[in-house]
Amino acid sequence: MYIAAIKLLYFGVKLLKAHGAIYIGFALAKQVQVRPVNDHYFLVRHVMVCISKTNTRISYRIMMWQSYIKGFKSYLQLEKSQSENTVEAYLRDVIKLVNYLQSMGLNLNVDEIKLGHLEGFVKAINELGFDAQSQSRIISGLRAFYKYLLIEDVVQNNPTELLASPKQARKLPDTLSVEEINLLINSIDLSTPEGMRNRAMLEVLYSCGLRVSELVNLRISNLFLDLEVVKVIGKGDKERFVPIGSQAAKYIKLYREGVRVHVDIQKGEEDILFLNRRGKRLSRVYVFLVIKECAAAIGLQKVISPHTFRHSFATHLIEGGADLRAVQEMLGHASITTTEIYTHLDRDFLRSTIMQYHPRYK
């Protein structure tokens, strides 16, 4: 079905010149994001096969794009030490651009792309429903791609330098109260092996403020429970040490001694802390589902995710008077600006304080 749709894209562009028609296949670019890393070149390869039957020059250019994308992947993995998720996202960004160019009949090489082409691409993804944050992230991927091309002397000019990112509203992250966190965690049924594991998992998520990718890849060899710290491997394989609470340490111990020892662990997963019943590490999607089930169990109306626990972790620390730099270190933020958003969350406390003590508010 997917292949047929791509063929329809190619021949539809040739036969139907209406503005709406040329966007049919480009809309499928949004579906590329669910494809695994190893399949990223499937789309480019297939388009190349389709068009090579009619235009050898176009086929050669697509082949060159494929070569550049492959080199870009190696650059991200080997030289930049980017995480698998980041590599996958950046490759999708470049493929979205390739799809757009093909849908518009623009058979350009990387050194022929101008600022106007990229602005047209941004306009197109905006019309497809990508929000400002998603557009900015895609632009970041394209900038990284052209930085790589400059390093390799493939291009002499970088058309992304003057490409403006859309303005983003400073959106405050959704958080949970301490009471809501307790209700969610306590809703888990501890009578099942999965329940014991999930309790330990959520305790760690909130106690340490981890990203979901950090949680599912947490290693036993990085647990130093006697010292009450864990070593976390974050974005770009950066390491940081984060304190862990007594409750989280308690349920990790219960899970390891009462559940994990009975799991038939798959090869290569021996050091991974949280495993499914088949002995493999949990997926990020599974953690999302666990949290949604907990929310449904207590009748919570908020839309929450694993990242909500991370936001709540930071907010509760700031509200309790924690030093901003310490919170930045624990979250693994490269910039203090990212952490500063949590200082805006305590606005209700600030408002009540000024109303109580400022003479003009009495």
Active site residues per annotation: 211, 235, 307, 310, 333, 342
* Biggest CA-to-CA distance, the chain: 80
Non-local (6+) Cβ contacts of 126 within 8 A are 135, 166
Q: Is 241 helix (H, G, I), strand (E, B) or coil?
A: strand
Neighbours of 225 (CB within 10 A): 15
Give the separation between CA 92 and CA 43, rounded to whole angstroms: 11
SS3 of residue 230 by DSSP: strand
Q: Which residues of 15-26 are buried (b: 16+ CB within 10 A; e: fewer)?
A: eeeeeeebbebb
| Packed helices 178-186 and 284-297: angle between N→C axes, nearest 10 degrees | 100
DSSP assignment of 174-202, as one string?
Answer: P---HHHHHHHHHTS-TTSHHHHHHHHHH
With the C-alpha atoms ordered 271, 277, 281, 286, is the resulting torsion angle positive or negative? negative
User: How many separate helices (H) and strands (E) can be counted in the chain?
Assistant: 15, 3
Number of neighbours of residue 183 by Cβ within 10 angstroms: 17
Q: Residue 136: which residues within 8 A CB-CB, separation 6 or more?
A: 165, 166, 168
